[in-house]
Amino acid sequence: MTPSTDRPLNFDVLHEDAHTEARVGKLKTLHGEVDTPAYMPVGTHGAVRCLTPDQVQATGSQMILANTYHLHLRPGEEIVNDLGGLHEFMGWSGPILTDSGGFQVFSLSDWNKMEESGVTFKSPIDGKKIELTPEKAIQIQNVLGADVIMAFDHCPPYPATEEEVADAVARTTRWTERSKNAHSRPDVQSLFGIVQGGVFEDLRQRSVEELLPMDFPGYAIGGVSVGEPPEDMHRIAAFTAPLLPKDKPRYLMGIGVDRDLLAGIRAGVDLFDCVLATRNARNSHLFSRTGTIRIKNQQYERDTNPIDEHCSCYTCKNFSLGYLRHLYARRETLAGTLGSIHNIHFLQDLMLAARQMIQLGEFETFHDNYPESFRDWRRESF
Amino acid sequence: MTPSTDRPLNFDVLHEDAHTEARVGKLKTLHGEVDTPAYMPVGTHGAVRCLTPDQVQATGSQMILANTYHLHLRPGEEIVNDLGGLHEFMGWSGPILTDSGGFQVFSLSDWNKMEESGVTFKSPIDGKKIELTPEKAIQIQNVLGADVIMAFDHCPPYPATEEEVADAVARTTRWTERSKNAHSRPDVQSLFGIVQGGVFEDLRQRSVEELLPMDFPGYAIGGVSVGEPPEDMHRIAAFTAPLLPKDKPRYLMGIGVDRDLLAGIRAGVDLFDCVLATRNARNSHLFSRTGTIRIKNQQYERDTNPIDEHCSCYTCKNFSLGYLRHLYARRETLAGTLGSIHNIHFLQDLMLAARQMIQLGEFETFHDNYPESFRDWRRESF
């Protein structure tokens, strides 16, 4: 692949909305470009569930996320490296982002112990103790070889007291500094810092102020989508995003519900990731402009309509609700494939609409009138 | 789709091998053409497991098989019809063949009772008694709407005594006559008769002689691949196929092992179907020119090679054995998808090689020197 830039990351804001913080941008990596705001599907074990890379690309996805925690456990970063690095390994030639693994250590491990050095947890595979430190998390990500890698942070649970969150912010700052010092491949991988602070605005502000001097090529807002009410998440995104450098990409972690994406875009966020699109698809919940479709319901048994008449994905162009219901009822794995294609395409279409609405100066109207505004956006605007 | 012929089925033998019974032909249906010898992947519930129709087509498959028994049970042929008929239902615009359901009634039902009228069995869904007769089997297939449909036959198990098989041959003749009389859509669907007779050549001959006067547009050799040794199957195919009309397609049912396919082609067979390619793929057995690969074996952990260096399928072009092993070990459904793409493509490539070798007059050499002959067939011949 020809490098699209001589730096590992290049970000240009192409258009700023006059009415909100929303912006349209272009993220350039050594593995290709990403139009922002962008939604990244998640390939936990180095594969977006049920989909080939070709199918992921056909949904309009330009960049994907893979999980450091899972890939470290199996097959292990050394095997990924022996198989050519993450891009070659999973057959995805476009940009990839890896998380730091910290979130999974806290949320998925039965047992974990946090110290200043890092976190120790019991491997779910063989019960062995594994220590994840800022240095180790970065080293694993350096070996995996994603285009964007994440600093090792401390993401407290929700709810947490202001004192607990303040501690997490302070620890995150120290761990982020160590992450930066450990990063051995800044020529080909871009390390982002992660802002913590929970639902407390002053702590968010403090976290931003402590991270900005480290001058990362991009910043994430972490510690959201951990159980807090959507209003709090929207408020924190709207408060925090504008504190981050205008000329650098902003990434709101773990967000993938349509209204939350729009709230994030409105706040000035450029990147999102979430497993919901694919997980919901496997659990027979399909997105549509008229609300979620629970495809196993008998009402769809003889329904010749597509999931969403406004959708142009492979699934909607070729298959009826009745057929999809049959596949889900028979537990055919093709159900998960066709559902995931649609759900991801739905979100990518929403991103495309948002980008175009921002460029037309109509994003606020689009946001305020969602989902009605999404039904006919192609027709009304062009 | 524009009809490719004014008859529902048109078959032309384009080339006959000088040394064997093998021939190259073209089967034309109202839904498109099929180059023969052809292998049909199986879409039991109206979907080839783990694959979209686009992916099936990309393997080189031109015609697929769907199971009347399963589709009758769920969702039921009336729902398939309400959803536009089988082609529209499953998003496959090419030719489709449905079996009669008889084989599954005998092999899958806990309980079944055979009488002269037909077979009664207990529904595996709700325990209700269901009767399948020649008339009913054809009526279901008429509603489903496949291009080629099959007469309702009696396929005895293996081993069976000569007397039992003789009874089955006689019953098959009576049921086939009734199937023909029940067929209500001969203008758009072609009914094939099925030859029985087990491993007994005189009974095969008798079955053929009883069916030929009914003048079907095509004939199948059934009652094979039911547990008999491969040599018996090869012997029966070689004995029976040449008894069938030269100008009509011959279909050897349930055959999909590479050497069995080659034996069938050598005998003068034009059509094959089998679930093995997809079932083996899901069970982590992958075909290759150097033997079956058990992909979960640790030896492939860091193997950067494709499954088969001579294969040009999507899987072999994009993924290493090491990555595939990882997907299988993680039980990612993408493993079944990539494995099925490869296994079907492998058999379609074998069919393509066979067709070209027949045209070049080299089929017997190709057959006798398989699998070595398959490794470099592209290079040596063109």
Give per-residue pLDDT as tens, B45-97.
999 999 999 999 999 999 999 999 999 999 999 999 999 999 999 999 999 99
Are the CB atoms for B161 and B202 separated by under 8 Å? no
Report the chain A residue with the minimal C-alpha distance to residue B51: A334
- Comparison of pLDDT for B105 and A297, the residue scoring more: A297
B218 pLDDT tier (thresholds 50, 70, 90): very high
What value does the mean pLDDT of chain B take?
Answer: 95
Q: Are B323 and A83 in contact (CB < 8 Å)?
A: yes
Report the chain B residue with the minimal C-alpha distance to residue A323: B89
Q: How many CB atoms lie within 10 A of CB A178?
A: 19
B187 pLDDT tier (thresholds 50, 70, 90): very high
According to the model, what pLDDT value does residue A380 have? 52
Name residue B131's amino acid: E
Burial class (CB in 10 A: 0-12, 13-18, 19+), A20: middle
B51, B74, B327 ranked by CB distance to A330: nearest: B74
According to the model, what pLDDT value does residue A142 have? 98
Plot region of B34 (φ>0 → left; ψ -120 to 50 → alpha; else → beta)? beta
Q: Which of A153, A270, A273, A308 is catalytic?
A: A273
Q: What is the DSSP letter of A373?
A: H
Plot region of A87 (φ>0 → left; ψ -120 to 50 → alpha; else → beta)? alpha
Name residue A335's amino acid: A
Are the CB atoms for A374 and A351 separated by under 8 Å? no
Instruction: From chain B, pick out residues whose CB is under 8 angstroms from the CB of A53.
Output: 318
Q: Residue B2 pLDDT > 70, yes or no?
A: no
According to the model, what pLDDT value does residue B6 have? 58
Q: Are B337 and A336 in contact (CB < 8 Å)?
A: no
Report the largest interatomic distance among the alpha carbons of chain A, rounded to a whole angstrom: 60
Q: Are B327 and A45 in contact (CB < 8 Å)?
A: yes
Quote the minimal CA–CA distance from A142 to chain B in Å.
19
Q: Are B323 and A82 in contact (CB < 8 Å)?
A: no
Q: B99 catalytic, yes or no?
A: yes
Q: Hey, what are A312's tokens? A: 């142009």
Half-sphere exposure of B195 (CA within 13 A, CB side): 33
Q: Are A334 and B47 in contact (CB < 8 Å)?
A: yes
Burial class (CB in 10 A: 0-12, 13-18, 19+), A163: exposed
Best B59, B300, B315, B333 residue to mutate vs chain A (most A CBs within 10 Å): B333
Report the chain B residue with the minimal C-alpha distance to residue A332: B49
| Among the ranges given (A259-263, B248-252, B377-381), the one the predictor scored with the smallest mean pLDDT | B377-381
Q: Give the CA distances from residue B37 to residues B9, B43, B192, B216, B301, in Å, rounded to whole numbers and listed in that order.
A: 16, 19, 17, 19, 37
Instruction: From chain A, pick out residues whose CB is under 8 angstroms from the CB of B304.
Output: 82-84
Q: Are A330 and B91 in contact (CB < 8 Å)?
A: no
Q: Are strands A112-114 and A119-122 parallel, antiparallel or unpaired?
A: antiparallel
Name residue A43's amino acid: G
Report the largest interatomic distance among the alpha carbons of chain B, rounded to a whole angstrom: 60
What is the distance between the alpha carbons of residues A248 and A12, in angstroms, rounded to a whole number?
8
Q: Are B83 and A53 in contact (CB < 8 Å)?
A: no
What is the distance between the alpha carbons of residues B78 and B75, in angstroms, rounded to a whole number?
8
Q: Are strands B38-43 and B271-274 parallel, antiparallel or unpaired?
A: parallel
What is the distance between the alpha carbons of residues B217 and B190, in angstroms, rounded to a whole number?
7
Ordered structural domains, chain A, with CATH: 9-274 (3.20.20.105)
Q: B17 catalytic, yes or no?
A: no
Q: Are B333 and A74 in contact (CB < 8 Å)?
A: no
Q: Are B53 and A318 in contact (CB < 8 Å)?
A: yes
Best B314, B334, B337 residue to mutate vs chain A (most A CBs within 10 Å): B334
Instruction: From chain A, pick out residues whose CB is under 8 angstroms from the CB of B87.
Output: none
- Comparison of pLDDT for A380 and B328, the residue scoring more: B328
A51, A75, A337 ranked by CB distance to B326: nearest: A75
Q: Are A314 and B54 in contact (CB < 8 Å)?
A: yes
Give the residue numbers in A contacting B (CB under 8 Å), as ranges. 45-47, 49-55, 74-75, 79, 82-84, 88-91, 301-302, 304, 314, 318-320, 322-323, 326-327, 329-330, 332-334, 336-338
**Sheet of A129-132: strands edge to edge?**
A112-114, A119-122, A129-132
Best A279, A295, A333 residue to mutate vs chain B (most B CBs within 10 Å): A333
Are the CB atoms for B349 and B60 separated by under 8 Å? yes
Q: Are A332 and B54 in contact (CB < 8 Å)?
A: no
Report the chain A residue with the minimal C-alpha distance to residue B325: A75
According to the model, what pLDDT value does residue A55 have? 98
Instruction: From chain A, pick out residues whose CB is under 8 angstroms from the CB of B49.
Output: 332-334
Q: What is the dihedral of CA B238, B243, B246, B251, to 10 degrees?
A: -60
Best A49, A80, A90, A326 residue to mutate vs chain B (most B CBs within 10 Å): A326
What is the distance between the alpha carbons of residues B201 and A318, in angstroms, rounded to a whole number?
47
What is the distance between the alpha carbons of residues B214 and B27, in angstroms, rounded to a whole number?
20
Report the chain B residue with the minimal C-alpha distance to residue A298: B75
Q: Are B334 and A50 in contact (CB < 8 Å)?
A: yes
Q: Are A327 and B89 in contact (CB < 8 Å)?
A: no
Give chain A's radius of gyration (CA, Å). 20
According to the model, what pLDDT value does residue A109 have? 74
Q: Residue B255 pLDDT > 80, yes or no?
A: yes
H-helix segments, chain B: 53-58, 68-73, 77-82, 85-90, 102-108, 134-144, 162-182, 201-211, 230-240, 258-267, 276-282, 314-318, 321-329, 333-360, 363-368, 372-375, 377-381
Q: Which of B99, B147, B260, B349 is catalytic?
A: B99
According to the model, what pLDDT value does residue B76 have? 98
Q: Which of B147, B153, B258, B273 is catalytic?
A: B273
Q: Hey, what are B268's tokens? A: 């003068």
Report angle CA A223, A227, A229 to the nearest 5 degrees.
100
Best A82, A297, A334 residue to mutate vs chain B (most B CBs within 10 Å): A334
Instruction: From chain A, pick out residues whose CB is under 8 angstroms from the CB of B332.
Output: 45, 47, 49
Q: Are A326 and B82 in contact (CB < 8 Å)?
A: no
According to the model, what pLDDT value does residue B105 have? 86
What percent of chain B is helix, strand and coil (3-state, nearest 5)? 45, 15, 40
Report the chain B residue with the minimal C-alpha distance to residue A76: B326
Report the chain A residue with the minimal C-alpha distance to residue B318: A91
In order along its 382 residues, chain A shows pLDDT tens digits of: 444 445 899 999 999 999 999 999 999 999 999 999 999 999 999 999 999 999 999 999 999 999 999 999 999 999 999 999 999 999 999 999 999 998 898 888 777 899 999 999 998 889 999 999 999 999 999 999 999 999 999 999 999 999 999 999 999 999 999 999 999 999 999 999 999 999 999 999 999 999 999 999 999 999 999 999 999 999 999 999 999 999 999 999 999 999 999 999 999 999 999 999 999 999 999 999 999 999 999 999 999 999 999 999 999 999 999 999 999 999 999 999 999 999 999 999 999 999 999 999 999 999 999 999 999 888 554 4
Are the CB atoms for B181 and B219 separated by under 8 Å? no
3-state SS assignment for residue B255? coil
Q: Hey, what are B376's tokens? A: 């470099």
Q: Are strands B129-132 and B119-122 parallel, antiparallel or unpaired?
A: antiparallel
Sign, Cα dihedral of B41, B47, B48, B52: positive
Quote the minimal CA–CA distance from A350 to chain B in Å.
25
